[in-house]
Structure 1
């Protein structure tokens, strides 16, 4: 009888030894699948139109760090165009790119057509980084790119709201959102330049 109890306890002990690693493996597999799913949600899924009516495919930016920014021509922060261009000039050879999205969501400060915006950017600030066609960055008509940038369920990082013109979203070399930068933070702020150089 005693030997049977000892044998039974020994079997239970061995089963625990086997079950614990099995549960760990199962958890790791489920977690990996979740991570796998999140990996599919990248900025590379989007194709948009630039200011000149040409298709712009985000998948062509694989391997680059991307700063996405919503812009406006009649805002108190509009001079940030100059800083953005300087940032682009300084780091574009280091696998870095800026993608601008004009938007009229704040105070009607981007009323112009794509043609007018393109002329304004070129004439006033010599902008050469990619500028997209005007979109909405909040509300019911929010563009899918900004749905991705602002919704954790899509970007896997965090929920956010575009507060004003010139809010910046930093996207890594794998197409994942890594940081949201407030509108008033200048393009040459260390929170941006240190990230580019890292």
Structure 2
């Protein structure tokens, strides 16, 4: 059973990395975008679950760091709650990320028109959501957080606030020049929100 569990998570991580690299070459065929609706690229609703989209090598490096954090954290979640819960948490966070992306996209296209296409992978929000679940479990405890590769001790709630600001602040700043930058930064907040909701209902009776 242990081998099966380990394999499930390992396969998920491998799938995310391979699909994310492939999306650098074929973004519109693997990520969520307006093409998913306008050109009926319906399969992208599935493939985007395993893509963290980036158009450059720096983004791929950031993804590798995120996956490394993810792998270290999921072992604790998997040990306590099991592989089934971990996979459910991942996909719930991914779906919430997609919902935020779709709502933002529809709103922006309604206001500014549909000329700009912003490909988006849902894995980044899902990975961030799973990481945040572990932080929510340690809301008032001090944790070691790597800030630009420097280990810093801070409470869980401070880390969550920092992660939210890390998405909101650049998103709003870049949106001053082009509102569609909101689609690049804000959807991941859906993963954090989903993580909080799952944590709340998981522990509300305890």
TM range (shorter): under 0.3
What TM-score comes out, normalization by structure 1 length? 0.22
Q: Which has the larger radius of gyration?
A: 1
What TM-score comes out, normalization by structure 2 length? 0.22
Structure whose residues are more often strand by fraction: 1
Structure whose residues are more often helix by fraction: 2
